[in-house]
Structure 1
Amino acid sequence: MTLLTPQFRLNLTKLADHAVGMEQQGKSPAGRQMRVEQRARRARGMAWPVRIGLLGCLGTAIWQEPTLAPDLHDGMKSAVASIEARLEENEQVAAFFKSWTGERLAQDAPNLSASLTDALSN
């Protein structure tokens, strides 16, 4: 008797033998070690997005509440000022923001950061 699936055509006896083999493999020390290694691999794969999210939350908290880490907040403010200055100097970036925010906002606003803020707040 065969079981038809969209991807495979399996014999039910082979499927049963496979299930018994997996059960025995799970009870052996090698099977446990394999499961532990797979779980560790999944955990390592999820660690970097969690770390990035944690750093983003930490940065947001420091930005909103400077008393948490005054030195880091001052460093963040100086980094933002430096990035804004470099964006203002770069003609390609200026053209991108003008096209993204619209010529009207770029002409009305005194600088690109204000025009971008206006465009995102609307």
Structure 2
Amino acid sequence: MTENTDYSEPKMAKFVDALIRATANERVNWNQVGTGPDSFQVSFPRNSAMVWSIDDDGQHPFRLALFDANGQTLESIETYRNSAEDQPPLFAKIGELYAAARKQVRNIDAILDGILEDLGDS
């Protein structure tokens, strides 16, 4: 998969922000995809987006890809290997998106709620 740089960074940042909010508000549903544990996809009527940890370690580098209805890659952005603090703002947002998708797919909030209830600290 080749990295495209023809995208409008402000528009892509707006898209990533909106997707983070929609994920937090449960307005979109992410699914785990692929053979590794760290690939997540969300589908829309005409397109889909996928975010994954390239090294399958849950850390940078991440890749965000947009697909058309036929599964063809429209856009692909790869973050740097270094820490989130050293990333351009858009790349840091992609890391946040990955974390939000992972949290939703793995149902982390419900699991923590259950454990806190078991501990009598709900």
Common fold: TM-score over 0.5: no
The TM-score with structure 2 as length reference comes to: 0.24
Q: Bigger radius of gyration, 1 or 2?
A: 1
Q: More relative contact order in 1 or in 2 (CA 8 Å, sep 6+)? A: 2
The TM-score with structure 1 as length reference comes to: 0.24
